[in-house]
Structure 1
Amino acid sequence: MSIGKLDRRTVLKLGAASALLPAMGKIALAQEHSGTIRIWTFLSAEGQSPREVVLRDLIETFVAANPGVSVEVESQPFQELETKFVAASAQNRAPDIIWMRDTFLDLVNQRGALADLNDELSASFQSDVIPDLYPVFAEKSVIDGVRTSLPLWPSPAQVLFYREDALAEVGLDAPPLTWDEFIPVAGRLTSGDRLGLGLPTNDNSVSAFINIMTGFGPGIFDAETGQFDVTGPEAVETANVVRQLVSVGALSPTLLNAMGDDIQDQFAAGRFAIVQAFAPRFAQYKSIAAAYDPDDLAVSAWPAFGDRPPAVLLGPYWTVGVSAKSENKAAATAFVEALYTPEASMQWAQTAGLVPDRRSVQSDPFFSTPEAESIAVFNALLDAPGALTFPPKLPDITRVFPIMNTALQELIGTDEDVSAILERAKATLGW
């Protein structure tokens, strides 16, 4: 059975995340706003990706309702958004609105760069909208009582995308959900110029090593520090999995500098059977498919170790906040609220194929159509027994991913002893 099809509910069931609240209309703005709103995001106002199309439409709708407002999107490299924002805030040149990954919320909040949205959001938004968001995401944005941001596009984040036609070649309709079974299958999927598995080994916003390690469950993160044991038995077993994937030919020891965009483009060209991918890019992956039928694209959780449930790491995911130094907080907050109307949630779902932020809109007939099948799958992943988030205060996040990616590259591209590689990563982290 395929997790990209609804009959995999026996593995990843739909549950509380699909509970629906009464549908609500547009949020009425208390006043017509004016002035300029500057937004830093990785999206472009002129871009043509599904998410960029929706953002542009939402901006146009907001400006039409507030003709005195000018919205300026200043696209930034997503790997640098949070650190550039912290620097800009210290220099009093921060934008009004910032897109951030959840793994940076504590860092940015510690620098005093974010407004407390508890003080800025309208009373109606706080009473009606926040309870309609997915609690696991909305609650994580509150740090020491400060609502740092609002989660956008509830997502299982870094999951596995796979080609059903490729799996069919080896007599399967989905990847196995334990590593013991997954490894030999990934090796068999390597055929000709196609590799069984593609990982972004040089993308400093994610770490495939950590994603594999989540197959041991949330206990890998220390409850007090948020750290994981870089040289412990779980990390060693994770490293051994990587080495086995290389030995069976699923991973290439020469493909060591791939970013997420590289993996996406090469998957479209038929280079991989399975890849690590960002769930909100599902519609984009389908739109650029060239070497396979886009209807064959499906989604899977990560395999687990032993009899644990399949792993679904809910992060990194995107959140939206307002600068503490914004001189136009009222207009900026009003625009942020406009991102979460029922109409906006429907646009994110229908145009970009994303799980809607507002759970209540899932009563719309659209979500019963074949076109929305992938959204139902993502919803199931969000409510899966193996779902977990990064700890709110995971330390040194700006360093964790690149350091663990260096270790991943060494595991794939060298024969150096596993323990030596992990000891070096731990020393570099200073943990």
Structure 2
Amino acid sequence: MIDDSPREGSMRQTRYDAIDRRSALQGALAAGVALPFLGGRAGAQSADSIRIWTFMSAEGQSPREKVFKALIDDFQAKSKVKVVVESQPFQELETKFVAAVAQKRAPDLVWLRDTFLSLVVDRGGLADLNTELSPEFRQQALPDMFNVFTQKSVFDGKRVSLPIWPSPAQIIFYRKDALREIGLEAPPLGWTAFVDVAGKLTKGTRIGLGLPTSDNSVSALVNVMSGFGPSIFDPATGRIDLTGAEAVEAAKTVRDLVARGAVSKTLLNAMGDDIQDQFAAGRFAMAQAFAPRFQQYQKIAAGYDPKELAVSAWPSFGSRPPAVLLGPYWTVGLASTSQNKAAAVAFLESMFSPAASMKWAKEASLIPDRRSVMSDPWFNTSDAAVTAAFFKLLSGDGAFVFPQRVPDITKLFNVLNTSLQEIIGTDEKVEPILARAKSTLGW
């Protein structure tokens, strides 16, 4: 039975109006037609702008910022909708957004790290995209994206965000010229052999492997543990068994790297930026690095030929496939409080079109969100070799994501980095070090 009460009818009519506005805008965008944005029914105020919170600047000069600006300019020209970018410190995006939602001042779209999605979802900050995305996008774009990413954004049947720039996140960058010195083309993909090779790569002032040990957004110890696969996370709680056999073996592997001279005891407070700068100066043969910074690493290379830079998955333990832990990575969500959902969703979808995916790939060396564009002949050229390598890593059997709910993620990284510093810089047995971490986290 249909409820025809005035309230239900009003809500249904509002929903139809939103669909009509979005459909008109999407049709104009697809056709490349400039169209003043369609407001609501007669008397309603026209929604002619949307606000976005992101860590990027619309006027920035990094490759992905330039692409971002180009997509904004194209959208504004076709839709006549103004896009206002309000840059935020990336470490504060999620907490500031939650506060802004509560205070009714949130932006329309927001960049979020996947490891903080549950925090925002639990506070009702994000709209359900299943009811906002166009039918064409749901039917054509979603199946064309990486399932391992898109499924993580579904909470209790609600799609709360779209993952952007699928990336292996923290992987291993290495110098091919350094590997050739010892007769190899790439690092070994098993930890026992990797430790041996990393030790051999230490030569003079060059160190075999650079690891960030003081960064609240990553943990090298978790990346070493990823060699055991998704079993490192408890599926019910998202916790890691920090005193279990897998954590102990990972810690002892780091200790072996130190013993072989592959990891330096003097670099106990290194941030990701420190590792990046020292890699550029030729200090490391290999390093844990943030995958989307590949072009930046090439650009600032001074101590080696940038053409020699390449990427590798993390080694595995036993017979498991090489590990690619997908996170933290960026997703984009629609605020539940947005008053301009139709325009915001139209821009959101525009960032995931096949044309946009090609632009992200060709101009910012990012892996396409739309997998189908990999059939473009450009991906067989030398210019696309790195992007193709990243795509292969994401498509491998060893790719997995953090659980939807990882408790105290920032605290986890901080605590494990303290443990990592103790593992590298002291001779204390790894078991009590890990036990202290577990106690500190209250696990």
TM-score normalised by length of structure 1:
0.90
Structure 2 counterpart of 1:289, from 280, 301, 318? 301
Residue 154 of structure 1 corresponds to 166
1:186 lines up with 2:198 in the alignment: yes
Q: Give distance in 2, aligned partners of 1:188 and 1:81.
A: 42
Cα distance in 2, alignment partners of residues 197 and 312 from structure 1: 18
- Describe the SS at the equivalent of 2:91: coil
Structure-2 residue corresponding to 1:407: 419
Aligned twin of 1:339: 351
The letter for the 2-side match of 1:380 is K
Q: 1:417 to 1:164 in 2, by over 3 A?
A: same
Matched residues, number: 406
SS of structure 1 residue aligned to 2:203: coil
* Other-structure match for 2:292: 280
Q: 1:302 aligns with which of 296, 314, 317?
A: 314
Say whether residues 1:53 and 2:66 are aligned partners.
yes
How much does 1:29 deviate? Answer: 9.2
Instruction: Tell me how far apart the structure 1 counterparts of residues 142 and 30 of structure 2 sit (CA, whole Å).
Output: 13
One-letter code of the match for 2:278? Q
* 1:242 and 2:242 aligned: no
Q: What is residue 23 of structure 2 aligned with on the other side?
A: none
Measure the CA separation in 2 of the matches of 1:253 and 1:77: 31
The answer for the alignment partner of 2:55 in structure 1 is 42
Provide the C-alpha distance between the structure 2 equivalents of 1:154 and 1:294, rounded to a whole number of angstroms: 23
* CA–CA distance in structure 2, aligned partners of residues 26 and 167 of structure 1: 49
Matches within 5 A, 1:134-173: 134-173=146-185
Counterpart CA distance in 2 for 1:276 and 1:98 is 28
For the 8 Å contact 2:275–2:287, the answer to whether it is kept is yes
Counterpart CA distance in 2 for 1:27 and 1:422 is: 55
Letter paired with 2:344: A
Shift of 1:180: 0.9
The 1:46/1:241 distance shift into structure 2, 3 A limit, reads same
Secondary structure (helix, strand or coil) at the match of 2:86 reads strand
Is the counterpart of residue 72 in structure 1 residue 84 in structure 2?
yes
**Are the aligned partners of 1:27 and 1:125 in contact in 2 as well (CA < 8 Å)?**
no
Match of 1:129 among 130, 133, 141: 141
CA RMSD of the aligned region, Å? 1.8
Deviation (angstroms), 1:92: 2.3
* Distance in 2 separating the partners of 1:65 and 1:175: 48
| Structure of higher RCO (CA pairs closer than 8 Å, 6+ residues apart) | 1
Amino acid at match of 1:75: S
Retained in 1: the 8 A contact 2:216–2:413? yes
Residue of structure 2 equivalent to 1:106: 118
Partner of 2:432, secondary structure, is: helix
Name the counterpart of 1:254. 266
Q: Structure 2: which amino acid aligns with 1:394?
A: V
Asked if structure 2 preserves the Cα contact closer than 8 Å seen for 1:141 and 1:149, the reply is yes
Moved more, 334-343 or 216-225: 216-225
Instruction: Report SS of the residue matched to 1:415.
Output: coil
Mapped to 2, the partners of 1:159 and 1:321 lie a distance apart of: 26
Pick which of 346-355 and 190-199 moved more: 190-199
Between 277-286 and 148-157, report the one with greater CA deviation: 277-286
Q: How far 1:159 sits from its partner (Å)?
A: 0.9
Cα distance change of structure 1 residues 406 and 365 upon mapping to structure 2, 3 Å threshold? same
* CA pair 210-133 structure 1, distance change in 2 beyond 3 A: same
1:119 aligns with 2:168: no
In the TM superposition, what is the alpha-carbon distance from 1:302 to its structure 2 partner? 0.5
Deviation at 1:70, TM superposition (A): 2.2
Change (3 A) 1:137 1:240: same
Secondary structure of 2:50 counterpart = strand
- 1:422 partnered with 2:439: no
State the partner residue of 2:221. 209
Partner secondary structure for residue 79 of structure 1: helix
Give the TM-score, by structure 2 length: 0.88
Return the alpha-carbon distance in structure 1 between the equivalents of residues 368 and 287 of structure 2. 24
| Structure 2 alignment gaps of length 5 or more | 1-27, 38-46
Of residues 210, 219, 224, the one that matches 1:198 is 210
Q: Kindly, what percent of the aligned residue pairs are identical? A: 65
1:175 aligned partner, one-letter code: P
Contact 1:163 1:298 in 2 (8 A): yes
Change beyond 3 A, Cα 1:342–1:232: same
CA distance in 1, matches of 2:32, 2:340: 15
Structure 2 SS opposite 1:227? coil
Contact 1:189 1:195 in 2 (8 A): yes
Larger Rg: 2
In the alignment, which of 386, 394, 407 is matched to residue 374 of structure 1? 386
Cα offset for 1:157?
1.7
Deviation at 1:26, TM superposition (A): 6.7
User: Displacement, 1:90?
Assistant: 2.1
The residue type equivalent to 1:99 in the other structure is W
Code of the aligned partner of 1:206: V
1:270-328 CA deviation, whole Å, 9 max, x = no partner?
12110111222222222222211111111111111122221111211111111111222
In structure 2, do the counterparts of structure 1 residues 32 and 146 end up closer, same or farther at CA, with 3 Å as the change threshold?
A: farther
> Contact 1:27–1:341 (CA<8 Å) still a contact in 2?
no
Matched, 1:321 2:333: yes
Checking the alignment, whether the CA contact within 8 Å between 2:210 and 2:287 is kept in structure 1 is yes
What amino acid is aligned across from residue 250 of structure 2 in structure 1? T
Specify the code of the residue in structure 2 equivalent to 1:400. L
State which drifts further: 415-424 or 146-155. Answer: 415-424
**One-letter amino acid matched to 1:378:** F
